[in-house]
Structure 1
Amino acid sequence: MAALRTLQPLARQAPRLASTARAPMVARRFLNTDTAPVLYSAHAKVVGARTGHVEGDDLVIDLTMAKALGGPGDAGKTNPEELFAAGYGACFQSAMNAAAMSMKIQMPEKKEDSIVETTVHFVGDMKKLDMGIRVDMKVKVRGLEKSQLEKVVEKAQEVCPYSRATRGNITTNIEVEQL
């Protein structure tokens, strides 16, 4: 009986140890978002949910329900998934530029030589109100060796605020391609 009590703490840790053994080790930065200084704040007011209107400091957007979700998919309007895809892609590309600079890797000067295509998939079951998102990202860069590009993308995943916010919460698949 005493031997069982001795082994119980190890048995409780086994699933946690097994899961960490399989997961790749990613350097973790510890930023206390409650106390860190605010660098910038963005504000948006939404009226009317997915078929409404959004206003922000420098933003005016009309929303529509995507056709795939049973809505009209009105031309000239957007939806939360497109907005998230745009924000994540832009943030990730900025993180790539910053990561490359910190690694003394020269990113291309022409904007069209560095492209991030982000697809946000709305997944789940609407009837059960059990929905989520999954992200597929294609990173295409001209002028870098594939190994350099992979290092830049790996570092960008560590520093991009969107990547950090979604890590462990949603699946993000990143495909790297040389242009």
Structure 2
Amino acid sequence: MSSRISQSLRRAALRPSPPTILRTPIIPRRFQSALQKKDGPVLYSAHAKVVGARKGHVEAESLNVDLTMSKALGGPGDAGKTNPEEMFAAGYGACFQSAMNAVAAKDGITMPTAPEDSIVETTVHLIGDMQNLDLGLRVDMKIMVRGLEEEQIKGIVEKTKNVCPYSRAIKGNVWTQYTVVKLD
């Protein structure tokens, strides 16, 4: 009897397993938007030309900056020059803050108008293994607002995560820590 069982097990092990089918999840229509399509409506386009990589130069319609390799990565970290991580931090922070203002307005909440009363500090970390070229980003974002209750700020931040184009673009790819601080 045991020989029949072991014979059956051997045959089963030799049988090819059914193919694994990977399917693209079907998104219900109510969750689809023009943003999920290659031909979504363009509101604005930005174009930049980079020459020389991290030691080069960036030109855009209203941007003209020199790049430097940061000291932490073995470069000179030249004063007055920037790097991709700083530009990403600036872009993400500005975009997130603008999206916060839009979310608050839509919810009938008045954000402070003085620049020093609503501050977003964004730190972008280049992480990984340079030897194996296994690199990525991690983000720490500190949101500081004066004149609103902490729970209001947290509510705005939660909604903003789903509205900000940068947040949406990196969702699931970049670990982001959001810290909310109520300014006195």
TM range (shorter): 0.7 to 0.9
In structure 2, what is the equivalent of residue 71 of structure 1? 75
Sequence identity, in percent? 66
Q: 1:47 to 1:133 in 2, by over 3 A?
A: same
Within a 5 Å distance, the mapping from 1:96-111 to structure 2 comes to 96-111=100-115
Higher relative contact order (CA 8 A, sep 6+): 1
Deviation at 1:110, TM superposition (A): 0.6
1:178 equivalent in alignment to 2:182: yes
Cα distance in 2 for partners of 1:113, 1:107 equals 9
Cα distance in 2 for partners of 1:79, 1:29 equals 36
Superposed CA RMSD: 1.3
Cα distance in 1 for partners of 2:79, 2:113 equals 33
Please point out which of 57, 65, 68 is paired with 2:61: 57
In structure 1, what is the equivalent of residue 25 of structure 2? none
Unmatched runs of 5 consecutive residues or more in structure 2: 1-30
Q: 1:92 to 1:122 in 2, by over 3 A?
A: same
In structure 2, what is the equivalent of residue 122 of structure 1? 126
Deviation at 1:33, TM superposition (A): 4.0
SS at match of 2:101: helix
Please point out which of 15, 40, 46 is paired with 1:42: 46
1:142 equivalent in alignment to 2:142: no
Within a 5 Å distance, the mapping from 1:9-24 to structure 2 comes to none
Deviation at 1:29, TM superposition (A): 6.3
Pair member with larger Rg: 2
In structure 1, what is the equivalent of residue 12 of structure 2? none
TM-score by length of 2: 0.81
Q: Which runs of 4+ in 1 moved over 3 A?
A: none
How many residue pairs get aligned? The number is: 153
Cα distance in 1 for partners of 2:95, 2:172 equals 18
1:69-101 deviation line (CA, Å, top 9, x unaligned) = 000000000000000000000000000000000
Cα distance in 1 for partners of 2:79, 2:139 equals 23
Q: What letter matches 2:47 in structure 1?
A: H
